Amino acid sequence: MDHETTAAVNPDATESSGRVVIDPWLLVRHGTDPAGFAQDESLFALANGTLGVRGNLEEADSASQATLLSGVWERTPIEYHERFPGFASHTDTRIPVADATHIRLRLGDAPAQLEQGEWLQFERSLDLRRGCYRRRLRWRSPQGATLEIEAERIVSFKDAGLLAIHYRVRSLDYSGPITLESSISTAREAAAQGFDPRIGSRVEGGLNTFDAHAGEALAWVGQRTTHSGIRLVCAQRHQHAGELTLSDAGHTPHGVMQAYTGTLAPGQMVTLDKYVAYAFTAPLAADSAEALMARAEASLTSAITLGYPTLLEQQAQVLSGFWAQADLAIVGSPATEQALRLNLFHVFQSSGRDGHSTIAAKGLTGEGYEGHYFWDAEVFMLPVLATLAPALARAMLTYRHRTLDNARRHARELDHTRGALYAWRTISGDECSAYFPSGSAQYHINAAVAWAVRLYVDASGDDAFLLECGAEMIIETARIWLEIGCFNPRRGGAFCIHEVTGPDEYSALVDNNHYTNRMAQRHLRDAAAVAEWMAMTHPAGYAALAARIDLQADEPARWLTAAQAMHLPVDAALGIFPQDDGFLDKPRLPPELATTPGKQPLLLRMHPLSIYRHQVCKQADTLLALMLAGEQVEVAAKRRNFDYYEGVTVHDSTLSASTFAVIAAEVGHADKAHRYFLDTLRVDLDDLHGNAAHGLHMAAMAGSWLALTWGYGSLRVHDGMPSLAPKLPAAWQSYRFGMRWRDAHLRIEVDGDGVLYTLTDGNALTFLHDGLPQRLHAGQPLRLPCVGFVDPLPPLKAVIFDLDGVIADTAVVHHAAWKKLADDIDVPFDDATGERMKGVDRRGSLEILLQAAPRSYTEVEKQELAARKNDYYREQIEHFGPQDLLPGAREAIESVRRAGLKVALASASRNAGLLLQRLGIADLFDVVVDANRISRSKPDPEIFLAAASALGVAPDECIGVEDAAAGIASIRAAGMAAVGIGQARALAEADLVLPSIAAFDIGTLTTIRTTNWR
């Protein structure tokens, strides 16, 4: 059976065809294939920051259904064969609690098992206005009875532990008794960890039932964890009309149940409202079972008194306030608006509200990542809430302050004498990562927390939080940088930070990770500024804080000195920021290894050391630094970094696309900005990473809002003030979003005529538009021009051609030479092997050939084989002449020269010069760069950079022309525009693909480069 959704992967293209009508406020699915139900359980999950309930069917069993409480987790020791000092000693795992969503059906004495009947019509929906999950099923039993089952549920925003279900069954042609068996089940345990460590866990202990009761009015179970010392109670009560009566109540093998029986006739309906309340303790708290029951019963009494319709209206009221702040509209793409609303809804409902939790990587929608909190809560999720729901942002930071003592202990575990180091992944505040190279070594989490505090205070004006909590957090975490960094005399006294891991976990334990250094620089400056502010405005409070944490008088000055000297080098050849000291020295990962089969990331296919030895990124790293703290970096430099790192990033992390979308919009890559925006927008709707069934990706969902507001809206904070420079993507007619800044709410409306700024709340607001200060007053909207996707590319000065497959078809000669060598040494050689060699230099091609060799070869033997192949090749090209030029090749090169542009050749062949002479075109080239002049082969950009340098032009003043994917990657990494010659599918990364060199027209290409490519 099909599993349908309301929007396709490219929502804009789908809607323009007129085939789909989408309500932006309603996510609807009609699929009946159980294979897709686990993903739907995630998409239709409901939560309130404390309680999360996945979107199952009440009547059916589901191995992936779960109810989760943010404060209920188990502690499990981490076992090491070789344990060293400071290794994490245990992990915290959020575990499923008693699930009270079950309502079983009986028709007469027979259980109504949905999977055995016929599904005539099925629909489930998530109402984003009212915050409820609904589903409707028209079902025919094997005996021929036809029923219509409707269910609606909410997880209350007003009562942190309350779930309410409105359940109705209507008969279409059935006459007879019906029983609704409402139960609480304790059968569900934490998902076991398999091959993929992102999904399950290894839990020692878990939840045990300490008591259970089922009576006429109330049923409940009590559970407690084995090691973490948490206890909880789950209790249920019901409301029903007179057509139902209680027929049974008692224990089940895994919980309790209450059964209600009535009679149905065609056209008649029975209705049951179910209310479920959860109450739980803190770890090792002394709350009694009676106290927990009293709290649960109080919730149920209040819910019964209010009734389901009132509870539903409360949901709508809470969400109405949130949607008013978001103020979202996308004209021309309702599917985009729908996806943005869905993503915002899930971030909002999974946000902790009590100061005891923050937002887990999967929110409260599933068990992925064990329910752990990561640094992405501060970097991706908090920025959304800071301008839409500041109280939730404050609660997130309050959690970090509550766990500051844990961070201090963690710093001591890692041998730091002072300061605090937040855990990379945690629930309780303790480090839960057993693999320290990509766990504890991610010191950048300190900078993320400090950055988030600064952003929240700037946006909210909440100086009280800064005084009471934020200053201590910023200062204590800043002290760590001087513990792990040093002023390096070998680098001119630059402040260097050694042996850390940045956000890109495919490079671990490196020196001077650019993201870490840049964010540490910002952190140190903020810490010094906060210390100065507090000392001047609240001297008594500052003195008390200094005494409490032993803050020395000279520390702020030392922080500023380190920030000023921070090592942030620029690579001279590429004009980019190296991701770390050794990153650019490594070989690129071969394309065949970087390709991800079945959405499986590299970390599940390769040993970490194999990944670390290559120039490959899991996610945006340097680009993320430029997004968060790159105000002083010129756009041209950001573009060079974007172009380079796009070529080495595999986007195995769902965090990656949103950063690429933001930077692509900033540097003028309109098409790429939209493509990356869609990737982060629909990562869960379209299950782009293949694991939405285990919970939704909160950071990617938040990232889609950042891609809209920080990307297209260009929102940043400059000196505590909001800065905007909106752009309009071509796919939309207009868009609108809102943001709260201190005591004002700003609406930003962007269309083809510019941008309209309006205050919908507050008296006045000062902000920057395109770098210029603006003062906006209530009742006086301000219309300003949009900056648009302006291309600041310099004029074109040179074209750099590849040789093989572009100017002459020497591939057949290479193929014949390699085939002859393969026959000499009895190694199989086929077209697939030849294709892998395309664009690869001689030595690299030899290594590909020898992968299938029956024995290994010494270095001397390899040199002899390479020379022999070259001899075979030279024998063939001795017969080449002008007649062997590809049609149109000479004309293409001559047209470049007539246009007054320089011409270079960049060929992996060591015989390029000889071949140009044989072809009669050597005098048409200003520069020839072949494998004799470089040390790294394509897809490394060295050969194209060397050609540009020899011509005396900048890389972004060039066009590169190639016929191989490796060559296109080399051009893009060099920061040049890329023209592909051949099949578009094979050359997807090229800016433009031509079927042959005969289609090359320099005039047209110059125009396209300026208007479309950037």
Is the Cα dihedral 467, 468, 474, 476 positive or negative?
Answer: positive
**Are 501 and 442 contacting, i.e. CB atoms less than 8 angstroms apart?**
yes
| Token digits of residue 413 | 């575990």
| Token digits of residue 849 | 């050939």
Q: Is the peptide bond before 608 cis (omega within 30 degrees of 0)?
A: no
The catalytically annotated residue of 152, 378, 505, 555 is 505
Token look-up 């990962």 returns 589
Question: What pairing do the DSSP bridges indicate for beta strands 798-801 and 958-962?
Answer: parallel
Task: Sort 983 into a burial class: Cβ within 10 Å, 0-12 / 13-18 / 19+.
Answer: exposed
Count of other CB atoms within 10 angstroms of residue 437: 17
Burial of 918-931, coded b for 16+ CB within 10 Å and e otherwise, reads bbebeebbbbbbbb
Burial of 638-649, coded b for 16+ CB within 10 Å and e otherwise, reads bbbbbbbbbbbb
Measured distance CA(326)–CA(768) in Å, rounded: 20
Bridge partners (DSSP) listed for residue 52: 47, 68
Nearest by Cα to 643 from 906, 993, 983, 955: 955
Burial of 458-492, coded b for 16+ CB within 10 Å and e otherwise, reads bbbebeebbbebbbbbbbbbbbbbbbbbeebeeee
Length of the chain: 1014
| Token digits of residue 100 | 């009270």
Q: Is 140 helix (H, G, I), strand (E, B) or coil?
A: strand
User: 275: Cβ–Cβ under 8 A, 6 or more apart, which residues?
Assistant: 162, 163, 164, 165, 236, 237, 238, 239, 300, 303, 304
Measured distance CA(466)–CA(358) in Å, rounded: 18
Alpha carbon 31 to its chain's center: 27
Alpha carbon 750 to its chain's center: 26
Measured distance CA(332)–CA(733) in Å, rounded: 5
Rg (CA), the chain: 31
**Are 969 and 644 contacting, i.e. CB atoms less than 8 angstroms apart?**
no
Measured distance CA(495)–CA(516) in Å, rounded: 12
Measured distance CA(514)–CA(518) in Å, rounded: 6
| Token digits of residue 159 | 């009562």
Give first-to-last CA distance, the chain, whole Å.
Answer: 44
The packing angle between helices 656-667 and 635-646, to 10°, is 140
Residue 169's Cβ-side half-sphere holds a number of Cα atoms within 13 Å equal to 33
Nearest by Cα to 941 from 620, 617, 573, 678: 573
Query: In the 8-state DSSP scheme, what is residue 589?
Result: P
∠ Cα 742 748 752 (to 5°): 165
Bridge partners (DSSP) listed for residue 978: 960
User: Is 875 known to be catalytic?
Assistant: no
Count of other CB atoms within 10 angstroms of residue 217: 12
∠ Cα 430 363 399 (to 5°): 40
Measured distance CA(992)–CA(71) in Å, rounded: 53
Measured distance CA(277)–CA(292) in Å, rounded: 10
Measured distance CA(621)–CA(15) in Å, rounded: 34
The residues assigned a catalytic role are 505
